[in-house]
Structure 1
Amino acid sequence: MAAKVRIKAGPVEFEYEGETELAVVDIKDLFSHIETLFKVPVLAEGGEVHNPATLPAAQAPGNGAVNGGGPKLHVNSVAQKLKAKTGPEVAVAAAATLQICEGKQTFSRTELLDMMKKATMHYNANMSGNLTKILANLVGSKLNQISDGVYSLTSEEYQKLATQLA
């Protein structure tokens, strides 16, 4: 009897077809191995946190969300809730707006800067000139760099911010 398994989780895809049957224990083990791939920064944001099936019910889309994974707030409101004053804090508020409020899985450097500029009560022109430095400091701690000029919040930061904005 042939076995066929296909699993897609974010950017990670696994397909197996063969004569060897897979037991439930084998499939659970496979899932745990795939889960470890999400700890690799480049792959981490492909679906782990942003997959509605993995979010707690309070954070899942449809629970107070409008077209996104969280409450529909303007970036000024997000920045105010997060008490954003510095460039990195405004950048995190803009990233939270893009991912949590608008439901984007990733965002470009341009999208981030445009959203930062919309935080008129918190943004100043120096932040644009310092964006490269701001991003360099945030990548690894609060942001993942998916590819050149493409970013996402880390899993931990996403969950922390989603809780703060709820």
Structure 2
Amino acid sequence: MTAKVRIKAGPVEFEYEGETELAVADIKDLFSHIETLFKVPVLAEGGESHAAPQAPTPLLPAPSGDTPTVVGGPKLHVNSVAQKLKAKTGSEVAVAAAATLQIYDGKQTFSRTELLDTMKKATMHYSANMSGNLTKILGSLVGSKFNQISDGVYSLTSDDYQKLVAQLA
């Protein structure tokens, strides 16, 4: 089995493809090394500010090339994404928010906070109890529709990313 990892964080890029399997601990270690590069003054001034490095889903091919593409023309608001996906439950609104973040905002990963903030913007579909149930919602999605990259950092699975691109086209 071939392992693929591609990480781009500001001016720092790392790409690996090979037969060696990479464990989650290896990926976390790699992220910590890349984070230290942002402390190097020349790299830290790279023109973009980064709260945390963004990375593609480890060990999965990039969903559709180097970066996510906006489907169907102009960027859709999370309300429109949720409407197209017929989101009614907390899990469905979370998937709509994740799709908005990855497909339309171009993020490779998203934090728990980013997900919740985006869910709240789906005012026609979000209810306050979803915030209280976010741990349960994430627990049901991780492993089926979401990958957990690290503590509090997630991405859509490659299969679900592709399905959502098709649904939103």
Paired-residue identity, %: 69
Return the TM-score normalized by structure 2: 0.66
1:63-109: CA deviation from partner (whole Å, max 9, x where unpaired): 766xxxxx510000000000000000000000000001111000000
**Pair member with larger Rg:** 1
Which of 141, 149, 152 in structure 1 is aligned with 2:152? Answer: 149
Query: What's the counterpart of residue 116 of structure 1?
Result: 119
Contact preservation (8 Å) 1:117, 1:123: yes
1:10 aligns with 2:18: no
Q: Where does the alignment leave 5 or more consecutive residues of structure 2 unmatched?
A: 8-13, 28-55
Count of aligned positions:
130
Q: Which residue type is aligned with residue 91 of structure 2?
A: P
Query: What's the counterpart of residue 79 of structure 1?
Result: 82
Which of 82, 91, 94 in structure 2 is aligned with 1:91? Answer: 94
Q: Where does the alignment leave 5 or more consecutive residues of structure 1 unmatched?
A: 1-7, 15-29, 66-70
1:37-74: CA deviation from partner (whole Å, max 9, x where unpaired): 6xx8x977147224625x8xxxx637766xxxxx5100
Q: Which residue type is aligned with residue 77 of structure 1?
A: S
- Aligned-partner Cα distance in 2 for 1:91–1:62: 19
1:164 aligns with 2:167: yes
Structure 1 vs Structure 2 CA RMSD: 3.0
Contact preservation (8 Å) 1:49, 1:158: no
Query: What's the counterpart of residue 69 of structure 2?
Result: 61
C-alpha distance 100-63 of structure 1, shift in aligned 2 (>3 A) = closer
1:45 aligns with 2:48: no
Report how far residue 139 of structure 1 moved: 0.1
Q: Which residue type is aligned with residue 85 of structure 1?
A: K
- Aligned-partner Cα distance in 2 for 1:62–1:150: 22
